[in-house]
Structure 1
Amino acid sequence: MSALADAAPSGSNAAEYTVSELSGALKRTVESAFEHVRVRGEISGYRGPHSSGHAYFALKDDKARLEAVVWRTAMAKLPFKPEEGLEVIATGKLTTYPGSSKYQIVIDHLEPAGAGALMALLDERRRRLEAEGLFAAERKRPLPFLPRVVGVVTSPTGAVIRDIRHRIADRFPLHLLVWPVRVQGETCGAEVAAAIAGFNALEEGGPIPRPDLLIVARGGGSLEDLWGFNDEAVVRAAAASAIPLISAVGHETDWTLIDHASDRRAPTPTGAAEMAVPVKAELELMLASLNARLGTGVSRRLGDGRRLVAGLARAIPSIDMLLALPRRRLDDASSQLGRSLRVAVGEKRRLFGEAGGRLAPHRLDALLRDKRNDLRLGETRSRHALDGFLARRRQRFERAVSDLRPHGIATRSQEGRMKLDVLADRLERAFAHGHARRADRLSAIARVAASLDWRQVLQRGYAIVRDPQAKDAPITSAEALSPGMAFDLEFADGRRSALTTAAPRPSVAKSPRGKRGAVKVDQGSLF
């Protein structure tokens, strides 16, 4: 110690240290005295690994608190992840941190403080996930009867995958996909959850076939060995899987949280293979039995049909019986046909004789005489009618000629002149009345046009702002006037040129009080 201290001042024999020297001496003393310790306590302040991979938390009991750190290399070797509130037994060495004058334990190994602590944590996690509905029975889906592809999440080197492969090959050989994962250790939970999500992310018809069924399998072990399958990420991945999932973790007496979230739990990996596929030989035997039953049923059905047809055939009359009555009718008709023809020919001859008698020469002469008499009578009647018609037309013509004589024409002319005077007087009065009415309408329209003339508006003190660069177009907005722009103002008695000197200011419309509200003056509407 004397080598580290400076000479003591006069009157004192106490050694003098620097802060660094004292901190280093304390660090060496603590590390040599507590090089290997086992500490039991409750994890407090754990927020997961740091970005560097190290983990920082504290171990506490009801009276004291000890800071703890797990380096990244040791973190990867821990059998399970530290969790807040978990009682553990930590193995490591004590050291000090001179930067803050604290002492801490550097943990090399971490184990739960008995199975009771892990079971309490497991039960608390189970109740919380169950409250979220992840274990509900209505969420579980039936397994496909005969999947084409089965995905297996397990270790590729263990006996589990060999048992599953052999059992499926014995029962019903099909396409088997294996997603290799660690089934124990720190990264077990994350790898299993990623494998379930990866199988679900495969596309239908892609280069890698999408499984119709998933099996998550692992052999038996202690609670610590199976702890990765109690990971919350694994449970949520199993519950969210769109592909039906069988959990086959451990032996029949082993239970993990993934068993509650899966669609079906198998007591062993071999049992999961038996649940996944049926026995091909049994299916073939069942198909053969069904085929035999089908053949027997078809034969029986055909026999019943034949008997039914035979019975119906006996009830149907024969062809001779069906044609007996038509044949009898045909025979009767053929026997009556000759007699009917003879009667018909005799009747036709009689009618022909009667017609021939009516066409004798003397009868024709008499008929011609009657027709000639009828023609002479019609000619006489026509001549008399024509004479009467000509007489009536002659009388009408003579009356018309008498009307056209000078005395008749003068009388008709006098009557027409009187009618013409009356019509001319009416026309003159109607024209005067219409002219006055249209003059009044024209005067009213002229007054309205004069009131709307924009030049009259200029007489009341308004002016028009025109742009000489745009062919004297009216400027209706203040924003169109830029600083230094030349424009013209047109008044009632002439025009003046002007120049803008500043940027336009926003106009504030004043609203006069009254029931009608604000009146907005829009000068552009005058044009």
Structure 2
Amino acid sequence: MSDLFDDPAPSDRPGQNAPEFTVSEISGEVKRTLEGTFGRIRVKGEVGRVFKARSGHLYYDIKDDRSVLACTTWKGQISSLSVVPEEGLEVVVTGRLTAFGGQSKYNMNVDEVAVAGQGALMALLEKRKKQLEAEGLFAPERKKPLPYLPQIIGVVTSPSGAVIRDILHRLRDRFPRKVLVWPVAVQGANCAAEVARAIDGFNQLTPGGALPRPDLIIVARGGGSIEDLWGFNEEIVARAAAGSQIPLISAVGHETDTTLIDFVSDRRAPTPTAAAELAVPVRLELLGWVEQQGARLTRGAGQAVQNRRQRLNDLSRALPKPDTLLETPRQRLDQVSYRLPDALIRGVDRRRLKLSEAAASLRPATLRQLVQGRRDGLKNLSSRLSLRPIEREVARQGDRLAQLAQRMNALQSQRLQQARRGLDATGRQLEILSYKATLERGYAVVRHGSDVVTRAAGARGADHLRIEFADGEIAVHPDGSDAGAKTVQQSTAQTPAPSKPAARKPKADPGQDDGGQGTLF
């Protein structure tokens, strides 16, 4: 064991001439060796794990009972694949073998995928059929009826094949209609996507627009192998046909060929020519049928008129003659007209007798009694219609009016007294608050012009002053000079004599209203 650890490095050993490689160099050499040795190869196996990355690249495995080969199809190569790999499908892939040094792995870049055999294709088809059937896309109740005579027919097929010529020829022979052709690839990698886009495109057209929306769609293709028809077995085509709002006829392949679109379409035609026959009726047959129905209608109407004429004749023979019907009424009229004059005379006599009897019963005494009875009734009514109740009511209403007048006068007097008392109280308050009462107690008011002087400094600066006392005003000069210009303004009130101390006013009557102002003394 110690010898192993003490063994010198290979580069230190004498006679070692093997070159040294870096990791990148050996990885590149392995990649070049793989790509140069194998080149473009085909590998058969069963598809294992399938993963589509966010970048759009497709990663999957091809395996057999012992080994697994990792495969990659880049985003730009997926659209060219005729068959998209699905787990469990046996395929033959074609591409180049390469190595990825970042993880010391090798894989195969696949640019073409083909199904390994018809049995695998049928198994895949059966798997898709069960899936769509479980979703209810094959249910008979969701299939739409075909229009009896469509105005515009949309055809999804190749514009260069014999299919479109057969459809147009059959339509021209049976009943010419307007046809819109949507050209698509009917086999290969682009077949499924183009057919699905064509069906959706026809459904998105506006009815009555510049490019009118068709009333019926025919998806047609000639016969071929299962690989050639595989585009019509793709799930996107089946879902596009199931979601079509326009009735759709599938005419893919010959009568023995069956594709997935046949199960989801509203009607399956064995051939494209048969699809044209299902789309429109035969014009000549339709014209013949219309003429036949017109003739039947004419014959039926004529026969109905003839039957009714015969019935009318039979009924007319059963009716009696008009003279026979009128004989009895005429006899009754003659009898009545003969008896009418005597009946009138007897009627007048009978009414004259009744009048005489009524006149005899109307004696003068009876009339007087009748008049007297009416007069007595009138007196009774007049006595009942006396004016005494009315007079009593008028007197009662008059007394009530007098009472209301008295109450109104008393209320008015009371309100006037209250207003007078309030006015007196306000006057007394005004006298109490007036400065005149202050002047009566020995004070004076000094004015300079219209302003009241309250400070000595203001009085010294004035050229003349006016002093107001309780009994008048005088004019003075602040410096005490000539006061010959004195002016005394006598008050209208007499100068009171020396008065005794004012007696305390008696306490106001609590019931008397003083306007809400209390006394100051």
TM class by shorter chain equals 0.5 to 0.7
Letter in 2 for 1:287: V
Pairing 1:412-451 to 2, within 5 Å after superposition: none
The equivalent of 2:384 in structure 1 is: none
CA 1:344–1:252 in 2, change beyond 3 Å: closer, same or farther?
Answer: closer
Q: Which residue of 2 aligns with 1:509?
A: none
Choose the corresponding residue for 1:42, options 36, 40, 46: 46
Are 1:159 and 2:157 matched, yes or no? Answer: no
Compute the TM-score of the two structures, normalised by the length of structure 1. 0.61
Q: What pairs up with 1:144-223 in 2 under 5 angstroms?
A: 144-223=147-226
Of 292-301 and 216-225, more deviation after overlay is shown by: 216-225
Deviation for aligned residue 1:184: 1.6
Partner Cα distance (1:77, 1:160) in 2: 25
The residue that corresponds to 2:89 in the other structure is 86
Task: Supply the distance in 2 between the matched residues of 1:81 and 1:104 (Cα, whole angstroms).
Answer: 18
CA distances 1:179-237 after superposition (whole Å, capped 9, x unpaired): 33222222322232233333334455555433332221111111111111111122222
Counterparts of 1:82-481 in structure 2 under 5 Å?
Answer: 82-337=85-340, 347=349
1:26 aligns with 2:33: no
Question: What is the distance in 1 between the residues matched to 2:146 and 2:172?
Answer: 19
- Identity, % of aligned pairs? 54
Please tell me whether the aligned partners of residues 74 and 108 of structure 1 are also in contact (alpha carbons under 8 angstroms). Answer: yes
CA contact (8 A) 1:184 1:226 kept: yes
In 1, Cα distance between the equivalents of 2:273 and 2:303? 44
2:52 is aligned with 1:13? no
Alignment partners' CA distance in 1, 2:31 and 2:351: 159
Distance 1:284 1:168 in 2: 16
Equivalent position SS for 2:194: helix
Q: Is the 8 A contact 1:153 1:196 kept in 2?
A: yes
Task: Please say if residues 94 and 112 of structure 2, whose CA atoms lie closer than 8 Å, have aligned partners that are also in contact.
Answer: yes
Mapped partners of 1:141, 1:150: distance in 2: 16
Conserved? CA contact 1:43–1:83, under 8 Å: yes
For 2:134, the aligned partner's letter is A
The 1:224/1:371 distance shift into structure 2, 3 A limit, reads closer
Partner of 1:397: none
Provide Cα deviations, 1:457-507, integer angstroms capped at 9, x if missing partner: xxxxxxxxxxxxxxxxxxxxxxxxxxxxxxxxxxxxxxxxxxxxxxxxxxx
Alpha-carbon distance change, 352 to 60 in structure 1, aligned in 2, over 3 angstroms: closer
Task: Give the letter for the 1:294 counterpart.
Answer: L
AA aligned opposite 1:321 = T
SS at match of 2:27: helix
Deviations 1:331-361 (A, max 9, x none): 334444566677778x599979989x99xxx
Question: 2:92 touches 2:116 (CA, 8 Å); kept in 1?
Answer: yes
TM-score by length of 2: 0.61
The one-letter amino acid of 1:146's match is L
Count of paired positions: 360
Alignment-mate amino acid for residue 45 of structure 2: G
Contact 2:44 2:92 (8 Å CA) reproduced: yes
One-letter amino acid matched to 1:254: D
Q: Aligned AA for 2:34?
A: V
1:244/1:263 contact within 8 Å kept: yes
In the superposition, relative to structure 1, how do residues 310 and 120 fare at CA in structure 2: closer, same or farther (>3 Å)?
same
Judge conservation of contact 2:248–2:267 (CA < 8 Å) in 1.
Answer: yes
Measured at CA, do residues 126 and 353 of structure 1 come closer, stay the same or move farther in structure 2, by a change above 3 Å? closer
- Displacement of 1:63 in angstroms is 1.3
Provide the secondary structure at the position in 1 that maps to 2:26: helix
1:8 and 1:16 in contact (8 A); partners too: no
| Inter-CA distance 337–21: structure 2 relative to 1 (3 Å threshold) | closer
Structure 1 partner of 2:69? 66
Q: Which runs of 5+ in 1 are unaligned?
A: 1-6, 359-366, 383-527
Deviations 1:17-72 (A, max 9, x none): 22222222222222211113221112222234x55554332221121111222345
Note the C-alpha offset of 1:164: 1.6
Name the residue aligned to 1:447: none
Q: Structure 2 vs 1, CA of residues 371 and 327 (structure 1 numbering), >3 Å: closer, same or farther?
A: closer
**Displacement after TM superposition at 1:121 (Å):** 1.4
Instruction: Please give the per-residue CA displacement for 1:282-341, whole angstroms capped at 9, x wherever unaligned.
Output: 111111101100110110000000111111112222322222222223333444456667
One-letter code aligned to 1:159 = A
**Do 1:79 and 1:224's aligned partners in 2 also have CA atoms closer than 8 Å?**
no
Mapped to 2, the partners of 1:110 and 1:371 lie a distance apart of 139
- Structure 2: tracts of 5 or more residues without a match: 1-9, 377-521
In the aligned structure 2, how far is the partner of 1:210 from the partner of 1:142? Answer: 17
AA in 1 matched with 2:48: S
Letter in 1 for 2:51: R
Give the aligned residue type for 2:247: P
Bigger Cα displacement from structure 2, 69-78 vs 151-160: 69-78
Closer/same/farther in 2, CA of residues 141 and 351 from structure 1, 3 Å limit: closer
CA contact 1:38–1:91 (8 Å) conserved in 2: yes
Q: Is the 8 A contact 2:80 2:190 kept in 1?
A: no
Take 2:366 and 2:144, find their aligned partners in 1: how far apart are those partners? Answer: 112
Label 1:62 to 1:325 Cα distance change in 2 as closer, same or farther (>3 A). same
C-alpha change, 1:328 and 1:105, in structure 2 (3 Å) is: same
User: SS of the residue aligned with 2:144?
Assistant: coil
1:8 Cα deviation after fit:
6.1
The RMSD of aligned alpha carbons is: 3.4
Which residue type is aligned with residue 37 of structure 2?
Answer: A
Letter in 1 for 2:318: A
How much has 1:269 moved relative to structure 2?
0.8
For 2:51, what is the secondary structure of its paired residue? coil
